[in-house]
Amino acid sequence: MWISECGMRNISRLSFGRRDRISGPFRIPYSQIGIRIHTAFQNLHLGPFRIPHSQIRIFEQRLRRLIFLLLPNLAINASLSAAGKWTVEGFWENRGFLYAANSCSGCPHTEADSHLQTQIQYRFGKNIFVFEPSIWMDTRHQVRRNQASYSDRTDQRPVLSTNEFYLLIPLGSLDLRVGKQKIVWGRADGFNPTDNLTPFDYLDLMENERIGVTALRARQYWGSASLDMVWIPTFTPTRLPLLAQRWFPLRARDQARGVEVRSSVKYPATTPAHSQVALRWDDSRRGWDYSASYFSGWNDIPDYNIQFAVSSRSVQLDLARSFSRLQVIGADFAGVLGGRALRGEFGFFRPERKNNLPLINDRRNYIQYALGTDWRWGDWYAIAQWVGDNSLGTRSTFDIPGGPPRFPDRGFGQAVLGRVERTLNSWSSVHVNAVIRFQDADFLLKPEYLYDISQSWKLQAGFLILGGHRSGFLGQYHENSRMYIRLKQSF
Amino acid sequence: MNKTLFTTKTQRAARVFVIFVSLWFILCFAHVNAASALEMMQKVDQQARSHSEQHLGSLEVHDKGGKVLKKAWQSWRTGFGGNSKIIVRFTAPAEVRGVGLLIINHTRGSSDQWLYTPSIQRERRIAPQDRSVRFLGTDFSYEDMEQRDINDSEYELLAEETLTGSSVYKIKATPKKDVRSQYSFLFLWVDKNTWVIPVTEFYTDGKLIKKLFARSVEKIQNIWTPQEFEMQDVRRSSRTIIRLSGVQYNQPVSDDIFTLRSLRSNP
């Protein structure tokens, strides 16, 4: 119906970003056991895991201290300000999915979930306090029902979590934001190589959500220009699909059948030396918006160290997850050329080179880019975007030979993203999203119908069609093609 | 025969003279009409001119089936016409609460527009051709929401009429060639007493596509101000009613409001 709310959100849901996984078979020289394994298997998330709660507890204790320090200040400001104002808003969304095929044993043909998100804002003077709790319920065992979490680092989604919890303090020409927050960078549609600060929840790959991170963000303005400075003291990983679920890579799941899987995870330490920093210069002049950015932090997709143990009774697989450092230099722009909006984004990625682990990862530097346009004619709206991913330099002895990189944080390869919208009237519209990957000749097609039942209730129904070559990232999920319905109430 | 010849020559000369005078008269009249039409539009512009404006707005979209969609917003403007800045912040319904639109108009050329959506925490530049698109599902387009410079169009006075008891001028406004517009031309009815435009018709490729009615005209701080607008989309058989309240002119408004920072901060 209009570009921002529905359009961007749905495109971003379509996006797989740099965290998307692309799978493909190749041989790993595990000479000891001679087992062939699927690459994506090593990069995706197996559960259940033993979570190092000690680190989370330390972090949460520190955060509580910070809140206790801030609260008196908040209270004083609130009492001094006559303009203090509370607002509560949010939505309640219910989704149902119907699958034609059964892609895994125990995966039902129907799934449903319910999501209640509330945002509580308190404004006093120019300051804003934001608290955004979220409650999830589902039938697909992606939600851990007896768990509430602030840090949101668990493999399953906690039933109660905090999306955002921060204080925004404008100090002259400086905006200071402290607390858990979502930081979104980038100007391209659907694929943003510069957007590396906030991880994703990929339990359902096609309906991904953002996970907030605890950060200190300072944005200094000089007229139309600004410098965005972010410090993230604690690490939050991306949440990956669970084993024995539909979005776990098909071949890896098949190969893991009958194997006892044990897993462990090691997060980066919570010390200043292990924190993440990012800078972004942003400006808008003569009809063009542009930025340049730098990120030095951690890849929120884990590396895996894999060991097999074969006994007479079973085959045991030990997965040790760890995270490696990552630096990204990026730039983006948006403007108007020839009467059409033109948007582009570029990222140069420099992953840490570890000599010991993991053997399976390609550690070469690489670039990712997106270039697209969008335009309207009458009641039609269309976005077309080309995205690419290219490794630089030659492989090292520690890189796995046998084809292009197959890692979750390596984007689409070469692909075209598209979206077409047709507004039918003030209450309804039809959207079609599409992704075509050239590397493996696979695709995604998502036609959907949106209808405003009333001022606050919205209905969305459609199909998700995945197809193409089975070794491709999208093609491997061909049995996950589905029909869906979404009912959302905003308040 | 000579007499006949003379008569014929005289008649021819007379005809040429009449044609020449007529042409001259038509050209002069057209020039006067064009000049007076522009002057009238300048009066319209002058009457409504203020350094700044703020208001609360609400709108209702009625479709042909009788279904009604409501939205509300708050708006601030500084400057006027082609040299103005506008920020609109939606307050209802919940789905669009916090959505902001920043428009920076330029005397020459297209305006800069950004739309901010809180749910994705991003502002997005809107291309000029996007302005023909319906604004938030209403019958108004982004272009209709802009403050247009009167120098962007050429004007022609067509007639003097009576409209609902008031004397009005009917003026044709045609966007200049270098001005990007979704409309081929507009018919404007200008009230002789208040210099308000009670009725506007919008044409594209010679076809009437929209009608705008301005009602509830009140004098606020010496400016005749319509407080209700109704846009009718002829093709869709739908209409949008906008009501303004709390209109204030020439109040001090900080320039800081009309920035991307302000748009992002969701005031």
Chain A touched by B137 (CB under 8 Å): yes
In terms of pLDDT, which residue wins out, A147 or A253? Answer: A147
Q: Give the residue on A whose Cα is nearest the Cα of B263.
A: A224
Structural element, H or E, at residue A146:
strand A143-149
> From the list B119, B136, B180, which residue is nearest A9 (CB)?
B119
Q: Which of B111, B122, B263 to mutate to test the interface with A (most CBs of A within 10 A)?
A: B122
Supply B230's token pair.
């109704």
Per-residue pLDDT, averaged over A194-216, amounts to: 92
CB contact set of A95 (below 8 Å; sequence gap of 6+)? A112, A113, A114, A115, A207, A484, A485, A486, A487
Report how far apart, in Å, the C-alpha atoms of A66 and of each of A54, A163, A183 are.
19, 18, 20
Judged by a CB distance cut-off of 8 A, whether residue B62 touches chain A is no
Amino acid A354: pLDDT: 66
Q: Which one of A5, A91, A168 has the shortest CB-CB distance to B117?
A: A5
pLDDT value of position B80:
82
Cα–Cα distances in angstroms (integers) from residue A294 to residues A173, A197, A271, A332, B210, in the given order: 22, 11, 21, 12, 49
Of the pLDDT bands very low, low, confident and very high (cuts 50, 70, 90), residue A400 is: very low
pLDDT (tens digit, 9 = 90+) per residue, A319-350? Answer: 788 888 999 999 999 998 877 889 999 999 99
Average pLDDT over chain A reads 79
- Residues of B numbered 93-122 whose beta carbons fall under 8 angstroms of chain A's beta carbons: which are they? 93-97, 99, 110, 112, 115-117, 119-122
Which among A153, A167, A301, A280 has a CA at the least distance from the CA of A220?
A280
Among A163-177, A254-268, A281-295, the least confident range: A254-268
On whether the CB atoms of residues A187 and B126 are closer than 8 A, the answer is: no
Higher pLDDT among residues B95 and A222, named by residue: A222
**How far is Cα A445 from Cα A481, in angstroms, rounded to an integer?**
9
Cα separation, A334 vs B126, in Å, equals: 9
Q: Would you call B180 an interface residue with chain A, using a CB distance cutoff of 8 Å?
A: yes
CB distance A335 to A289 below 8 Å: yes
For residue A115, the chain B residues in CB contact (below 8 A) are: none
**Average of pLDDT values for B167-181?**
90
8 A C-beta contact, residue B78 and residue B84: yes
For chain A, say whether B72 makes contact (Cβ under 8 Å). no
Lowest average pLDDT, out of A291-295, A318-322, B240-244, goes to A318-322
Of B218, B220, B216, the C-alpha closest to B230 is B216
pLDDT tens track for A118-169: 999 999 988 999 999 999 999 988 999 888 988 888 889 999 999 999 999 9
* Spatial CA neighbour of A200 closest among A1, A12, A431, A453: A12
Six-digit token pair at B8? 């014929």
What is the ipTM for the molecules in this complex?
Answer: 0.77
Higher pLDDT, B123 or B33: B123
State the virtual CA torsion across A253, A259, A260, A266 in degrees, nearest 10: -50
CA distance B34 to B86: 31
**Tokens representing residue A344 in the block:** 């582009």
The pLDDT value given to residue B12: 67
Q: How confident is the model at residue B44 (pLDDT cuts 50, 70, 90)?
A: very high
Interchain proximity B128–A339, CB inside 8 Å: yes
Q: Quickly state the pLDDT bin for A95 (edges 50, 70, 90).
A: very high
Mean of pLDDT values over B7-15? 63
The answer to whether the beta carbons of residues A76 and A214 sit under 8 Å apart is no
Q: What chain A residue is nearest to B139 in terms of C-alpha separation?
A: A426
Amino acid identity at A491: F
B204 touches chain A (CB under 8 A): no
Looking at the DSSP bridge assignments, the partners of residue B213 are: B199, B230
Q: Which of A70-74, A440-444, A475-479, B49-53 has the lowest mean pLDDT?
A: A70-74
**pLDDT score of A397 more than 80:** no
Question: Which pair of tokens denotes residue A90?
Answer: 């949010």
Find the CB nearest A375 among B121, B129, B266: B129
Q: Would you say A124 and A77 are in contact if contact means Cβ atoms under 8 Å apart?
A: yes
State how far residue A375 is from chain B, nearest Cα, in angstroms. Answer: 7
SS3 string, A192-234, reads CCCCCCCCEECCCHHHCEECCEEEEEEEEEECCEEEEEEEECC
A28 — pLDDT class (breaks 50, 70, 90): very low
- Cα separation, B188 vs B172, in Å, equals 6
A455 DSSP β-pair partners: none
Identify whether the C-beta of residue A187 lies closer than 8 Å to the C-beta of residue A333.
Answer: yes
Residue A481 CB neighbours (<10 A)? 17
Asked if residue B33 has pLDDT above 70, the reply is: no
Range in A106-120, A296-310, A434-448, B44-58 the model is least confident about: A296-310
Burial label, A15 (beta-carbon count in 10 A; 0-12, 13-18, 19+): buried
Angstroms from A397 CA to nearest CA on chain B: 42
Q: Report the amino acid identity of residue A444.
A: L
Mutation target vs B (from A217, A340, A376; most B CBs, 10 A cutoff)? A376
The structure tokens listed for A180 are 């858990």
Tokens representing A234?
Answer: 């604690």
pLDDT of residue B34: 56
Q: What does the pLDDT average to over A344-361?
A: 75
What mean pLDDT value characterizes chain B? 84
Q: Between chain A and chain B, how many beta carbons pairs sit less than 8 Å apart?
A: 113
Is residue A395 predicted with pLDDT exceeding 90? no
3-state secondary structure of B228: strand
pLDDT for residue A69 = 54
- Residue A19: pLDDT over 50: no
Out of B95, B129, B236, the one facing A458 most closely (by C-beta) is B95
Any idea which of A142-146, A186-190, A455-459, B262-266 has the lowest mean pLDDT? B262-266
Highest mean pLDDT among A91-100, A304-313, A393-402, A472-481: A91-100
Report pLDDT for A348: 96
B16 to each of A408, B2, B12, B25, B30, how far by Cα in Å? 86, 21, 6, 14, 21
Interchain pair B125, A378: CB under 8 A: no
b/e A412-424 (16+ beta carbons within 10 angstroms → b):
bbebbbbbebebe
Q: Which residues contact A278 (CB under 8 A, 6 or more apart)?
A: A196, A197, A228, A229, A230, A232, A293, A294, A295, A296, A297
Whether the Cβ atoms of residue A297 and residue A324 lie closer than 8 Å to each other: no
A27-31, A88-92, B164-168: least confidently modelled range: A27-31
Q: Does B130 touch chain A (CB under 8 A)?
A: yes
Percent of chain B with pLDDT over 70: 84
Query: Within its chain, how far is the Cα of A153 from the centroid?
Result: 13
List of residues 6+ apart from B193 with CB closer than 8 A: B166, B167
- Is B211 at the interface with chain A, CB within 8 A? no
Cβ atoms of A481 and A99 closer than 8 Å: yes
Q: Is B237 on the interface with A (CB under 8 A)?
A: no
